[in-house]
Structure 1
Amino acid sequence: MIRFGICNELFEGWDLARTCASVKRLGYEGIELAPFTLAPLITDLGKDRREQMRRTIADSGLETIGLHWLLAKTEGYHLTSPDPFVRARTQDYLKALIEATRDLGGSLMVFGSPKQRDIAPDLAPEEGMRLAAEVISGVSDDLEAAGVDLCLEPLSTAETNFLTSIAETRTLIDRVGHPRVTLHLDVKAMSSDPGGTVPDLIRAHGGVAGHFHANDPNLRGPGMGAVDFGPIMQALVASGYDRWVSVEVFDFSPGAEETARQSIETLRRTLEAARGA
């Protein structure tokens, strides 16, 4: 069943309890967390504090969806670095993020982090693919043990030079070959995917996606830009996608609650229409 969540960085400057109360009041069922909003590094967030956060979210009536923006505002981590020490550090940090996701009550992690996956200019694309698969394969046992999915996010060529289409991302997923490593779909990113229109891409890949972000290429929420979410929701339903749809925005200027309100109203209306079609 499709359920609606929202990413917490929109509520910048708010404490977690206030954020959760607002999110719940507006009608969301889940909250997705950016690690940099919790601590400078996820390893700085102790077990006791994780448990407090988990209780705060649960006591508000929400579920923890998981973590995204995994490597944002960190240094020294990189998925395709030719330096084995950097790759080993990245692998260790991903393991720490997996543990934190489990401790916070989440079940997935979204790997976007465009600058921490860029392939160096002197590195062949195939070598970048091999190195990324090596790092991700090295955390697959941890994902399985924690019950956490790692969802790889295609992004536009304006953001990165690696995993810039769903097709390329699925190549990496197939190479890793583990059921806990799966595809993430994002409306903003799909808007520039060379593989087709957003609804067509959803119909083709939604059935295997582990997570979905709803937004507009203008960096605001659903219904706050030119994208028509009617066909998007129709495609999601038709694809058999039955997981979280999380609102993720990058332009906070309309305000957190107004953005959250307009977004969920759009998502609810278009999902209801899609189910009735």
Structure 2
Amino acid sequence: MGLDVLENVHVPKTFPSTEYSAEVHALLSKLKLLVEPQGFEVYPFLIGWYNETVEEVFQLKYPEDTVAFLFISTPSMFEKAFVPFVLKHEIEELRDPIDQCMLNFFRNLVKEFAEQQVDMIHDFELHPNKRPKILAQTAAHVSGAAFLYRMQNLSLELRASPTPKQRMMGLCLHPKYGGWFAIRGCIVLKDLHCPDLPRLDPIDILTAPVDQMKALELFNFHWRDSRFRDVVSVEERYSKDQQLYFNTPPGQRKHILADIRKKYSAQLGSP
């Protein structure tokens, strides 16, 4: 697949450093040690930052100074976390393999904080009325993990451009991985309050509005070809195995899982 890299993009070579309180710093360091070897990144944010950005029906019912941590999966998560999870289970046990893997990931994570009150919120969780429990892309933006580009932030002139007359979903882009990542959810530490938590601004890598519009169109109308993921130069993409898995309809993935088990079992010397 050829790259469709947009012009006028800003990709930083270094990333801003932030000084956190001793308690938050200790927790963040612990979380990084736990999740980075599995192909995840973690970002702290305050509930108030999220709530002030969303409509009331989407607000999280915690005090505004409550600290939460957002988790995203990087391209290496597939081989570092998902494949080992698949190897530990029979294919018949895996109805929604990625979701089950993420449930397992978060459950194991929370066990490390048994002395604290922790709530988990997964990106795929819904309320009984089908409303999402968290707007994952908004959480990614306010935590500084990825920049959220939205149609309503563009000029009226661009919004009137000849595109299909339907509402376009927003798109988060990561400064290192472009669109080759996923937002997986967050944990809320109910007893941890830090009103002066330093805020890490997301990095705007598409500074030209016309490029933002192009990225949104690619995401909303051509998402199957993954060109939206490569609108900027990226450091890493999904592996061929991972792309094949996600590009295969969910109901047809069992043979992909079987191939994954065979391939990686052989590499690891498993029976």
TM-score (norm 2): 0.25
Higher Cα Rg, which structure: 2
